[in-house]
């Protein structure tokens, strides 16, 4: 199966322009909620701070458990039971805090990704010549079937979906 390179590149430019417009349009709808996004970021930061404070509080309790063991207030079994319980809770909070920090990084990455895609869309719109770097950055795979149907898998499609999923996961913490 053969197809002329210039014809393929011309079709790819059209397909890329359409896919970028769709992706950027969908993302603009979510960016229209910028006050909501700022609130989401603030909420994530607040949750991270709250988890850090809770971890510090629990570490203080674990330290006091040892003092209570030494003073004879707690038995050895009670000490180890309480210590295990509190350390388990600290581990859980640490995992949650990491996930929240990942969510915050994802929001920042999405904003950067959106800006880069806007620049790529503008470049394709003004200069339809597709460079190897641009194709590598935007396209994961191109398939041409026997009847010259072109199927393109873009690198940027799933990233906006990931943003929504991560944000929803962080909201539920």
| Tens digit of each residue's pLDDT (9 = 90 or more) over 76-108 | 999 999 999 999 999 999 999 999 998 888 878
Beta strands in the chain (DSSP E): 139-144, 150-154
Q: How many domains does the chain have?
A: 1
Residue 26: the pLDDT is: 59
Residue 106: the pLDDT is: 82
Kindly state the DSSP code that residue 172 receives in the 8-state scheme. T
Give CA–CA dist 144/44, Å, rounded. 44
Could you read off the pLDDT of 129-143 as tens digits, one per residue?
788 888 888 888 888
Check: CB of residue 140 under 8 Å from CB of residue 154.
yes
Q: Which domain holds residue 41?
A: 5-171
Which of the listed ranges 30-34, 39-43, 81-85 does the model predict with the highest average pLDDT?
Answer: 81-85
Determine the distance from the C-alpha atom of residue 21 to the mean position of all C-alpha atoms in its chain, rounded to a whole number. 21
For the chain, state the CA radius of gyration.
Answer: 26
Is residue 30 over pLDDT 60? no
Kindly state the DSSP code that residue 72 receives in the 8-state scheme. T
Residue 158: the pLDDT is: 64
48: its two tokens: 């991270």
Under the banding of pLDDT at 50, 70 and 90, the label for residue 13 is confident
């Amino acid at each position: 199966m053969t197809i002329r390179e210039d014809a393929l590149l011309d079709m790819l430019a059209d397909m890329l322009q359409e896919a970028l417009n769709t992706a950027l349009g969908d993302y603009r709808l979510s960016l229209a909620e910028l006050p909501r996004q700022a609130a989401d970021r603030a909420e994530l930061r607040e949750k991270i701070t709250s988890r850090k404070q809770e971890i510090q509080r629990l570490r203080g309790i674990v330290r006091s458990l040892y003092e209570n063991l030494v003073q004879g207030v707690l038995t050895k079994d009670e000490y180890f039971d309480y210590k295990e319980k509190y350390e388990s809770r600290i581990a859980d909070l640490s995992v949650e805090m990491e996930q929240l920090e990942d969510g915050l990084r994802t929001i920042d990455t999405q904003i950067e990704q959106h800006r880069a895609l806007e620049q790529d869309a503008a470049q394709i719109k003004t200069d339809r010549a597709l460079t190897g770097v641009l194709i590598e950055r935007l396209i994961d795979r191109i398939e041409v079937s026997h009847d010259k149907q072109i199927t393109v898998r873009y690198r940027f499609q799933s990233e906006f979906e990931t943003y929504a999923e991560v944000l929803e996961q962080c909201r539920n913490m």
